[in-house]
């Protein structure tokens, strides 16, 4: 199970290493049920809105100690929205003690 971000450049090597074995990998940007429901809703919404000319964007805010920017959740959100054919700008704020927020 992979629940970390920043490893996607290594995905081909992981696939090659596991080819022909009985080992599987479950990878997700976020394992929270609510986030995964949000991603599904965002993908369906993107198809409807992009077809009508809307231009999606993502901004996320997290505490100053968060290591990755954008977060894996924001990257996953961008990926599902891009499936609708949209280019998606992503911006990030890292400051203070902000709880994770994605808009």
C-alpha span between 78 and 5 (Å, rounded): 14
Residue 23 lies inside a defined structural domain of this protein: no
86 found inside a domain? yes
21 occurs within a structural domain = no
pLDDT for position 95: 93
Whether residue 82 lies inside any domain: the answer is yes
Residue 2 counted as domain residue: no
Q: What is the pLDDT of residue 103?
A: 62
CATH number of the domain that residue 65 is part of: 3.30.360.10
For the chain, the domain total comes to 1
Confidence tier at 14 by pLDDT (50, 70, 90): confident
Quick: pLDDT tens for 41-92: 999 999 999 999 999 999 999 999 988 899 988 999 999 999 999 899 999 9
Q: Is residue 59 part of a domain?
A: yes
Q: Where are the alpha helices (DSSP H) in the chain?
A: 11-18, 33-50, 72-82
Active site residues: 62, 66
pLDDT of residue 30: 81
Domain with 37 in it: 29-102
């Amino acid at each position: 199970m992979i629940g970390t971000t920043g490893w996607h450049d290594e995905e081909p090597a992981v696939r090659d290493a596991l080819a022909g074995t009985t080992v599987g990998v479950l990878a997700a940007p976020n394992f929270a049920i609510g986030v995964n429901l949000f991603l599904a809703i965002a993908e369906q919404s993107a198809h409807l809105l992009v077809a009508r000319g809307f231009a999606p964007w993502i901004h996320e805010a997290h505490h100053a100690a968060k290591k990755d920017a954008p977060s894996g959740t924001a990257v996953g959100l961008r990926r599902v929205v891009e499936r609708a054919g949209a280019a998606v700008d992503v911006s990030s704020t890292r400051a203070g003690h902000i709880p994770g927020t994605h808009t």
